[in-house]
Amino acid sequence: MPNNSQRRSIERHFPILSWGRRYNHETLASDLVAAVIVTIMLIPQSLAYALLAGLPPEMGLYASILPLVAYAILGTSRVLAVGPVAVVSLMTAAAVGNLALQGSAEYAMAAITLAFISGLILTVMGLLRLGFLANFLSHPVIAGFITASGILIAASQLKHILGIDAHGHSLPELFMSLGSHLNQVNLLTVAIGIPTLAFLFWVRKGLKPLLLATNVPPRLADILTKAGPVAAVALTTIVVWLFNLGTLGVRIVGEIPTGLPPLSLPSFSGEVWSSLFVSAVLISVIGFVESVSVAQTLAAKKRQRIDPDQELVGLGTSNIASALSGGYPVTGGFARSVVNFDAGAETPAAGAFTAVGIALAAAFLTPLLFFLPKATLAATIIVAVLSLVDFSILRKTWAYSKVDFAAVAGTVVLTLGFGVEVGVSAGVILSIGLFLYKTSRPHVAEVGLVPDTQHFRNIHRHDVKTISSLVTLRIDESLYFANARYLEDLIYDRVVCDAPISHVVLMCSAVNEIDMSALESLEEINRRLGEMKISLNLSEVKGPVMDRLERSEFLTDLNGTVFLSQYDAWAALSGDDASAESVA
């Protein structure tokens, strides 16, 4: 029998063992109801997102079966619904489209391989506990990328609404291609696509209030609202079949293979892997960030927690499962996860039950979709992705921080102008660059003593006491290679003045880290101040930082003192208290 520590370790790697012990009839009922609602929503979405990725529609269904089971076993979120999503589908189309493959079979194999590589990357990152790397991506920048991607996705589907051919990975390319083919618009396709769009927009906003006003029970109203896309699929399919519109230029899905997902293996060609690896990294990063953000938001509403490292493993194995069952890259979807949450899902078993529903659809319902018009799937995608478009992030960042605004606006412009891969790469680079820029110029405040207290505040913001011979600088950032030189220059500029300065105190209450580059800068500052007959002193150094300093020769060579508190430094170095001045 494993002890408590071993059991907790096993449960951390296999969360199903934790929630599975407490599973009961009430939980089962809640999960089944949620699974029914999500299944109804997911069937048309899966087909539509496969279309967006440029893949056979059945691959969308395949990517919605085994990945859900894998996540139910290894994922830590109780309500996250894994499967194809719009942004990852668009990124898949861009990645695989770059290979210039011949035929749908090779294209599909490349998408399967992409899912496998992404799964390996995510799983390895999880096993190495690298979930913290997601923190380096700025959320405003990611929001800007998703907004731009939503616009790109919606624009890419206009060709199906109009019944014309158009291609392009960026907004200018798409609009130019659409414009050059406008003379080929199929009016019958437009007559299907535009009303379907209007209907789906109305369903999203207006159907549920209408049903509730007519005394329909809330749970049934919710199910009927989520079934809106299914109703659109059924109605337009019947219309195309009845009037044989496929022969009149209305593009239909055609034959979809019936049956459960086939066992498939990715390509192990070195050339294919090297071509897809960078795209797989980007898909993994964006997929993980989107998924973990949704999972954390929904978990907080139920006072639950998720483990980002285990989430990497859960998403990684889900992608591997998708590849082995003929699917393409998947992640946790925002819309379906919210639906899963609102429908009352209690555990990841709801996802497994959803997988059963999708499997039944793949096994028995696909012949009914032969006459499904692609315009209907395009309308489903457009309505889904436009909910992701949020230009308010530009207004918010403009009001709060011009630097953040520049990063967000740059990501949006590059994504729209040059495509999703350039956009996501720019988002990653801008996030890291934003972090380096902000931390390379840390806030450093000269502080003085608040009268009749032992507190110290910024001399430019408060009425405080200062001493002309004593300069105290509060450093509000950890010191590392990117900002070490900045601190050097700031100190030298401050001490070169007419007033006779005898002591400099660095108040380190906000310094959590001093790396080797910063240590060398401190040693140089100590040497140069010593030559100027000025002592360098430290105050309020944190324990872990002090432990590292003690392992160096810095404290031995320090020409001043390390004080426990800033007030101790003030008392020891101020000399005659009468020399203190008030600064407003």
pLDDT, tens only, 191-233? 999 999 999 999 988 888 998 888 888 878 877 887 888 889 9
pLDDT for 584 equals: 45
Task: For residue 346, count other CB atoms closer than 10 A to its CB.
Answer: 20
Give the whole-number percent of the chain exceeding pLDDT 70.
Answer: 95
Q: Where residue 5 falls among pLDDT bands split at 50, 70, 90?
A: low
Residues β-bridged to residue 82: 332
Give the whole-number percent of the chain exceeding pLDDT 90.
Answer: 51
pLDDT, tens only, 526-545? 999 999 999 999 999 999 99
Q: Where residue 577 falls among pLDDT bands split at 50, 70, 90?
A: very low
Please say if the pLDDT value at position 150 is more than 50: yes
pLDDT, tens only, 430-484? 878 888 888 888 899 999 999 999 999 999 999 999 888 899 999 999 999 989 8
pLDDT for 404 equals: 86
Strands 581-583 and 470-475: unpaired
Q: Where residue 387 falls among pLDDT bands split at 50, 70, 90?
A: confident
The residue extents of the domains of the chain are: 23-434, 444-583
pLDDT, tens only, 331-372? 988 778 877 887 778 888 999 999 999 999 999 988 998 999
- Cα separation, 86 vs 45, whole angstroms: 9
User: Which is more confidently placed, 10 or 69?
Assistant: 69
Alpha carbon 574 to its chain centroid, in Å, reads: 51
Half-sphere exposure of 13 (CA within 13 A, CB side): 9
pLDDT for 386 equals: 85
Least confident of 144-148, 300-304, 485-489: 300-304
pLDDT for 322 equals: 96
Mean per-residue pLDDT of the chain: 88
pLDDT for 41 equals: 80
Residue 244, Ramachandran bin (φ over 0: left; ψ between -120 and 50: alpha; else beta): left
Give pairs for 290-293: CB < 8 Å, separation 24+: 290/85, 290/87, 290/142, 290/146, 290/331, 290/332, 290/334, 291/80, 291/82, 291/315, 291/331, 291/332, 292/131, 292/134, 292/332, 293/139, 293/142
pLDDT for 402 equals: 86
pLDDT, tens only, 463-474? 999 888 899 999
- Cα separation, 583 vs 467, whole angstroms: 10
Contact (CB, 8 A) for 338 and 44: no
Tokens of 578: 């009468």
pLDDT for 496 equals: 84
Residue 546, Ramachandran bin (φ over 0: left; ψ between -120 and 50: alpha; else beta): alpha
Architecture of domain 444-583: 2-Layer Sandwich (3.30)
What residues contact 49, with CB distance under 8 A and at least 6 apart? Answer: 60, 84, 85, 86, 89, 381
Please say if the pLDDT value at position 7 is more than 80: no
Average of pLDDT values for 117-132? 92
Average of pLDDT values for 548-571? 94
pLDDT, tens only, 13-65? 778 887 878 888 888 888 888 888 888 888 888 998 998 898 999 999 999 99
User: Which is more confidently placed, 141 or 237?
Assistant: 237
Please say if the pLDDT value at position 391 is more than 90: no
Q: Where residue 102 falls among pLDDT bands split at 50, 70, 90?
A: low
Average of pLDDT values for 421-427? 81
Least confident of 44-48, 235-239, 301-305, 541-545: 301-305
